[in-house]
Amino acid sequence: MRMNEGVEWALHCCVNLSWIGPDQAVTAAKLAAFYDLPTAYLNKQLQALARAGIVSSSPGPRGGFRLAKAPARITLMDVVAAIEGPEDAFRCTEIRRQGPHAASQAEDPSPCLIDEAMRRAELAWRRELAAQTIADIRGKVEERAPDFPEQVRDWYATGKA
């Protein structure tokens, strides 16, 4: 079980976009260059964020991506769901209904208890993700490195470190 690498990229990009602010758009190429990522592939992930309403995209010159909501309203769960899709990691295939006992179990309406247990665990995971926002991450970074946001803004504006 491995999570898409795009999730990590998307989260970092969201934090960076929160420093840029919603007034100007940043191109996928710039966002990719910041971390030496493949531009076209990062673009694909940003499209997923746009479809989920996390960022908004503008075409043409001066176009690019910007946050579509306040950072405090974007949870990690939102970003993960946007990239990974809404489906659970564990998917019950109802094997209890297969094999020699299919007949005796076919009409049983009660849910698979193993599925229930796994869902309970994933729910806890989702809860924890939903409790953390992009603003939280940003705040903690600023606590540790107060002048980092300014450096980021400068780099995106001038292209020079």
24 is a contact residue toward DNA (CB under 7 A): no
37 is a contact residue toward a copy of itself (CB under 8 A): yes
43 is a contact residue toward DNA (CB under 7 A): yes
What is the residue whose two structure tokens read 């698979």? 112
Q: Which does 142 bind (CB under 5 to 8 A by kind): a copy of itself, DNA, none?
A: none
Half-sphere exposure of 141 (CA within 13 A, CB side): 17
For 103, counting Cβ atoms within 10 Å of its Cβ (0-12 exposed, 13-18 middle, 19+ buried), the class is: exposed
80 is a contact residue toward DNA (CB under 7 A): no
Mark the segment that binds DNA (CB under 7 A) among 42-50, 71-79, 112-120, 122-130: 42-50
39 is a contact residue toward a copy of itself (CB under 8 A): no
Q: Which helix (H) or strand (E) is 66 found in, with range?
A: strand 64-67
Mark the segment that binds DNA (CB under 7 A) among 39-47, 94-102, 124-132, 142-150: 39-47
Q: Locate 54 and state its tokens.
A: 């996390």
Report phi then psi at 102, rounded to 5.
-55, -45
* CA distances in angstroms from 91 to 35, 85, 103, 141, 159, listed in the order given: 34, 13, 22, 36, 45
Q: What residue ranges bind a copy of itself (CB under 8 A)?
A: 1-5, 7-9, 11-12, 15, 33-37, 76, 84, 87, 89-93, 95-96, 98-101, 103-104, 110, 113-114, 117-118, 120-129, 132, 136-137, 140-141, 144, 151, 155, 161
